[in-house]
Structure 1
Amino acid sequence: MKEKIIRFMQGRYGVDQLSKFLLIVGLVVVLVSAFLGNNPIALILYLIGWIFVIYCYFRVFSRNVSKRYSENQTFLAKTYGIRNFFQKQKNIWQQRKVYHIYTCPSCKQKIRIPKGKGKIEVRCPKCGTTFIKKS
């Protein structure tokens, strides 16, 4: 069975970030429409959600690889700022166990200080300002 699926997908585009995004948004919109009950807005949302899901699968099974790749690159370029913000927040959250992250009072540069060193004098690498913080 696995070989049949591999043979079927040969030459097709497959799953990428835009397809994942379309699938998640489509399913969320369908679920939201289910909670809204029986009214025209819920029906419209339901249809829009299924259009997203269908377009997602169209992209996955498409044989026009260059066109799908171009669409994905455009999506990634337009969402770079949002994805970069969340990646930075995730990185800061992971470092919280080992480091304190302070902001320089004069230039607002973020400075990472190891935890457990007591009261230390911190020198900003960007502007040279020194300030005392507890690590």
Structure 2
Amino acid sequence: MKEKIGRFMAGRYGNDKLNQFMMAVFLGCAVLNLFVRNAYVSTVLNSWECLLILLVYIRMFSRNISKRYAENQKYLALENRLRRFFGQKRYLMQQRKEYHIYKCPGCKQKIRIPRGKGKISIRCPKCGEEFIKNS
């Protein structure tokens, strides 16, 4: 039986990160559908579930490997952009405990100043403009 499945899947795309994401969304819709009492919302969730599972199987059994690979690369690029964006926001929130973060009025460069130093004169390292802020 294992050999038959192996022969069937030979030359087909298989599973990737985009398929895994779509399966996670499918499972989320299925769990959400258990708690929804509205018939219209339940119908919409059912249609989304059917669409997602159909797309997963179409992508998994596709023989157009280059197209599926390109779709997965676009998804990975988008995921990477989102991870970087939220990672930067998390890093800034961690830095705000010990530092004030100001923008230079001239060039909008972000400048990190330690807290608790009183009023200080800040010189922008990028454009050289000086401004006074409270730390």
Relative to the length of structure 2, the TM-score reads 0.61
Partner in structure 1 of residue 26 of structure 2: 26
* Residue correspondence of structure 1 range 67-106 to structure 2 within 5 A: 67-77=67-77, 82-106=82-106
Could you say which residue in structure 2 is the equivalent of 1:133? Answer: 133
User: What is the RMSD of the two structures over their aligned residues, measured on CA atoms?
Assistant: 3.7
Fraction of identical pairs, as percent: 44
Looking at structure 1, the residues matched to 111 and 20 of structure 2 have their Cα atoms a distance apart, in angstroms, of: 35
C-alpha distance 58-84 of structure 1, shift in aligned 2 (>3 A): same
Give the structure with higher Rg (CA): 2
Mapped partners of 2:71, 2:117: distance in 1: 52
The Cα shift of 1:118 comes to: 1.0
Q: Is the 8 A contact 2:100 2:115 kept in 1?
A: no
TM-score (norm 1): 0.61
User: Where does residue 37 of structure 1 map in the other structure?
Assistant: 37
Separation in 2, partners of 1:122, 1:60? 57
Q: Which moved further from structure 2: 88-97 or 62-71? A: 62-71
Aligned to 1:121: 121
Partner Cα separation in structure 1 for residue 94 and residue 59 of structure 2: 34
- Rounded to whole Å, the distance in 1 between the matches of 2:59 and 2:27 is 16
Give the count of matched residue pairs.
128
Unaligned runs of 5+ in 1: none
Q: Does 1:107 align with 2:107?
A: yes
Q: Distance in 1 between matches of 2:111 and 2:14?
A: 43
Gaps of 5+ in 2: none
